[in-house]
Amino acid sequence: MISKYQTIIFDLGGVIINLEEKRTIESFQKLSQLSQEEFYITYKPTSYSFSLLEHYEVGKVSNQEFRDALRSILFLDADDDAIDHAWNQILGDIPQERIHLLKKIAKTHQIILLSNTNEIHRIAFDEILLRQEGMTFSDLFHKVYYSYELNDRKPNLSIYQRVIEENKLNPKETLFIDDNLKNIVSAKKLGIHSVHLVPSVGITHFL
């Protein structure tokens, strides 16, 4: 399947690391001064402002500004460490077989990580992998691209173009794997062969 590709670009959340959004919601609810019913109404992504998350993921909002915004929007009675802990509860485990697969593929292909993420999460998921494997994602992949560092995010075509140009990739020889259909659609517009990974099918079943 992958023999015809020179480079494989991976998304992170939902592809390599499992996500547990329910844990984050429950953690924030415990920190909130709102009743459980009021909180769940307020926490809806459209309510606590998707634009806030977008701006945070492209570096337009600092870590402290993001924490303060969450504190205000969700009526949180918590210090920075508690907010970071709750925010990071979305990060689940990294199955060992996925790490083994990536290490194996890295011997024959260029592997690149392209993730919409933020600094608080990046520090946390690097710590998870460091505890598990003694390495960070920068060590595991040949190149990593994080939206908050690039001031750009998927599904913008510009972020894919940057990865292509900086690594001198031939889109026809490049495979992109993501669990967000919008990101897949954008990559395909640039001629990158792309696979939409659904929850029931992990990369170990696919590659």
Supply 130's token pair.
């460091």
Mean pLDDT of 105-109: 97
Mean pLDDT of 110-125: 98
* Banded pLDDT at 207 (limits 50, 70, 90): confident
The predicted pLDDT at position 85 comes to 98
Averaged pLDDT score across all residues of the chain: 94
Q: How confident is the model at residue 50 (pLDDT cuts 50, 70, 90)?
A: low
Question: Is the per-residue pLDDT at 28 higher than 80?
Answer: yes
CB 47 within 8 A of CB 152: no
Burial of 71 per CB tally in 10 Å (0-12, 13-18, 19+): middle
Other residues' Cβ atoms within 10 Å of the Cβ of residue 140: 18
User: Is residue 11 scored above 80 in pLDDT?
Assistant: yes
**Total residues found in the chain within this entry:** 207
Span 56-87, pLDDT tens digits: 999 999 999 999 999 998 999 999 999 999 99
Phi, psi dihedrals of residue 193, rounded to the nearest 5°:
-65, 125
List, as one string, the DSSP characters of 20-55: -HHHHHHHHHHHBSS-HHHHHHHTSTTTS-HHHHHH
Question: Using an 8 Å Cβ cutoff, are 12 and 115 in contact?
Answer: yes
DSSP code of 202?
-
Q: pTM of the full predicted structure?
A: 0.94
pLDDT at 48 over 60: no
Give the residue-averaged pLDDT of 136-160.
98
Q: What is the DSSP string of 90-145?
A: GB----HHHHHHHHHHTTTSEEEEEE---HHHHHHHHHHHHHHHS--HHHHSSEEE
The pLDDT of 46-53, averaged and rounded, is 68
Average pLDDT over residues 191-202: 90
- Residue type at position 26: E
3-class secondary structure, 84: helix
Tell me the per-residue pLDDT of 165-188, one tens digit each, with 9 for 90 and over: 999 999 999 999 999 999 999 999
Kindly tell me if the per-residue pLDDT of 39 is higher than 70: yes
Distances (CA, A) of 112 to 2, 7, 32, 102: 14, 7, 38, 10
Q: What pLDDT is attached to residue 45?
A: 56
Write down all domains in the chain, each with its CATH number in brackets: 7-17+95-206 (3.40.50.1000), 21-90 (1.10.150.240)
